[in-house]
């Protein structure tokens, strides 16, 4: 493969980061354009992001990846492959994407392979991206350069899983550059070719939408289980054992979950639009309030009011609106603070300083897990499995107030071990709470 930086990846989301490190891992040097410098931003402590950031540091030092804060700094005359990763979801994102395409079009070199990978409505690539390039760049698709669509969506999985998922490459009129195909195969081992771009656009969008619908079903079934005093995790386990298909539980990233539905619902009429998708989106928006209600009931079970109770939060998995983008305080912290609880946060191994600056006096941010849970009445566990290896039920019981409650959002603790240590254990869908 060429050692010069002939590939540029432009975007401000996790897909851009993952794509850049996977290219570098495959031996293909590249420019990464976006907010990926040492800016102290916070992010979800998901294994996929953690590993990608670690690899980014290595490849930056080796020179395989060169970060550029803005596309104006790209040597477009040397770029042979240009990849745009922004999702065409919210109006501000769509406007920014179209402005980027318009500004890049002037400098694209003849023979460039341009790939758009963001989720979008069917026909968006042809009606918007293709039209902008031809109108503002004076280049003819299929003659002066090639345009492709590759639906990419990171749903919180590890970097290996993201790499090994089957990818789709769509080209206009069935035209595919052999060089670009070979390049992608170095990065993604399983690649399917399709000549209908709008079908590829729909497949990427519908897969993302189905995730939110499945997540909504998961939350609704969990709520029914709670009402009937049934443990939803046990129901899922039985369904797996008996080969009955039922939605799998996952820890959501709220803004990620809603990208597909935001696109699907945009410009649709409420009366004749996709009602199930709209309902699923509404159900998932209630997830944070479900967590608050679970904490309230756990405190009541232990004999504590919300006001002045100490709630310790370990990790931020599933609590952040933006896994990567503008740093913001988890909505859960603000909800708990408004109810009078004292909140302490252990963000995980990603460092406490940027979190302390972001959250301010809304919560006490600790770099030590033990200091976070000291004298807590309730501990909310939102750590991914790999980051939760240090958790020990007996140690939690020693440090916390008694009686104490554990709300295990990521289900990384064994309920029996927690209860044996003398603490009350619950999670979403565990139908054992006092009402």
Vertex 378, ends 375 and 379: CA angle to 5°? 95
Report if residue 207 sits inside a domain.
Answer: no
In this prediction, residue 176 has a pLDDT band, given cuts at 50, 70 and 90, of confident
Task: For residues 380-405, give the mean pLDDT.
Answer: 89
Cβ atoms within 10 Å, residue 402: 10
Q: Look at residues 201, 228, 253 and tell me which one is the last residue of a structural domain.
A: 201
pLDDT for the residue numbered 41: 54
Task: For residues 406-418, give the mean pLDDT.
Answer: 92
DSSP state of 352: S
Same domain (yes/no): 196, 304: no
Task: For residues 384-402, give the mean pLDDT.
Answer: 87
Q: How far apart are CA 1 and CA 28, in angstroms?
A: 6
Which residues are CB-contacts of 155 (< 8 A; sequence separation ≥ 6)? 208, 211, 253, 256
In this prediction, residue 1 has a pLDDT band, given cuts at 50, 70 and 90, of very low
pLDDT for the residue numbered 2: 45
Same domain (yes/no): 61, 187: yes
pLDDT for the residue numbered 423: 95
Which residues are CB-contacts of 401 (< 8 A; sequence separation ≥ 6)? 310, 375, 376, 377
Q: Look at residues 165, 180, 201 and tell me which one is the last residue of a structural domain.
A: 201
Report if residue 176 sits inside a domain.
Answer: yes
pLDDT at 179 over 70: yes
In this prediction, residue 432 has a pLDDT band, given cuts at 50, 70 and 90, of low
pLDDT for the residue numbered 46: 66
Domain interval for residue 390: 288-435
Q: How far apart are CA 318 and CA 383, in angstroms?
A: 9
Report if residue 248 sits inside a domain.
Answer: no
Task: For residues 171-188, give the mean pLDDT.
Answer: 88
Tabulate helix, strand, coil % of the chain (nearest 5): 45, 15, 40
Report if residue 137 sits inside a domain.
Answer: yes
Tokens of 184: 């992608």
Same domain (yes/no): 189, 293: no
> Model pTM?
0.83
In this prediction, residue 85 has a pLDDT band, given cuts at 50, 70 and 90, of very high
Q: Look at residues 167, 201, 235 and tell me which one is the last residue of a structural domain.
A: 201
The CA-based dihedral angle spanning residues 148, 19, 81, 25, taken in that order and rounded to the nearest 10 degrees: -130
Q: How far apart are CA 409 and CA 382, in angstroms?
A: 5
Same domain (yes/no): 181, 312: no
Report if residue 273 sits inside a domain.
Answer: no
Tokens of 35: 């907010």
Count of domains forming the chain: 2
φ/ψ (deg, to 5) at 31: -95, 135
* Tens-place pLDDT, residues 91-136: 888 999 999 999 998 889 898 999 999 999 999 999 999 999 988 8
pLDDT at 247 over 80: no
* Tens-place pLDDT, residues 200-211: 999 999 999 988
Q: How far apart are CA 27 and CA 186, in angstroms?
A: 8
* Tens-place pLDDT, residues 130-172: 999 988 888 888 788 899 999 999 988 889 999 999 999 999 8
CA dist 21 to 11, 129, 160, Å?
Answer: 14, 25, 11
CATH number at residue 135: 3.40.50.720
Same domain (yes/no): 292, 194: no
Q: How far apart are CA 117 and CA 131, in angstroms?
A: 17
């Amino acid at each position: 493969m060429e050692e010069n930086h002939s590939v540029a990846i432009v975007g401000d989301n996790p897909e851009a980061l993952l794509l850049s490190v996977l290219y570098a891992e495959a031996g293909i040097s590249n420019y990464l354009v976006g907010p990926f410098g040492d800016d102290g931003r916070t992010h979800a402590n998901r294994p996929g992001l953690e590993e990608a950031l670690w690899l980014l540091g290595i490849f930056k030092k080796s020179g395989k990846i060169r970060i550029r804060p803005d596309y104006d700094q790209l040597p477009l005359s040397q770029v042979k492959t240009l990849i745009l990763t922004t999702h065409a979801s919210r109006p501000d994102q769509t406007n920014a994407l179209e402005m980027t395409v318009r500004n890049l079009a002037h400098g694209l070199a003849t023979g460039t392979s341009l790939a758009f990978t963001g989720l979008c409505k069917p026909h968006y690539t042809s009606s918007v991206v293709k039209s902008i390039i031809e109108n503002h760049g004076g280049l003819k698709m299929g003659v002066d350069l090639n345009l492709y669509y590759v639906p990419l969506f990171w749903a919180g999985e590890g970097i290996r899983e993201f790499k090994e998922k089957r990818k789709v490459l769509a080209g206009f009129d069935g035209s595919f550059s052999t060089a670009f195909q070979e390049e992608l195969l170095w990065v993604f081992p399983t690649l399917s070719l399709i000549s209908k771009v709008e079908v590829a656009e729909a497949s990427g969008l519908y897969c993302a939408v189905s995730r939110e619908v499945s997540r909504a079903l998961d939350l609704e079934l969990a709520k029914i289980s709670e009402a009937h005093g049934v443990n939803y995790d046990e129901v899922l386990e039985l369904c797996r054992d008996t080969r009955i298909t039922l939605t799998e539980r996952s820890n959501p990233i709220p803004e990620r979950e809603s990208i597909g539905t935001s696109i699907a619902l945009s410009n649709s009429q409420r009366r004749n639009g996709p009602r199930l998708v709209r309902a699923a989106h509404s159900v998932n928006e209630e997830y944070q309030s479900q967590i608050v209600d679970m904490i309230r009931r756990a405190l009541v079970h232990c004999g504590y009011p919300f006001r002045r109770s100490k709630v310790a939060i370990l990790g931020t998995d599933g609590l952040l609106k933006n896994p990567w983008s503008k740093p913001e305080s988890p909505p859960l912290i603000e909800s708990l603070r408004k109810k009078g609880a004292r909140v302490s946060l252990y963000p995980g191994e990603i460092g406490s300083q940027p979190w302390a600056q972001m959250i301010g006096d809304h919560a006490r941010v600790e770099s030590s897990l033990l200091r976070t849970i000291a004298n807590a009445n309730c501990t909310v566990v939102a750590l991914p499995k790999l980051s939760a290896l240090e958790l020990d039920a007996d140690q939690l019981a020693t440090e916390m107030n008694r009686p104490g409650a554990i709300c295990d959002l990521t289900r990384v603790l064994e309920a029996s071990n927690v209860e044996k240590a003398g603490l009350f254990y619950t999670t979403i869908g565990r139908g054992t709470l006092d009402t």
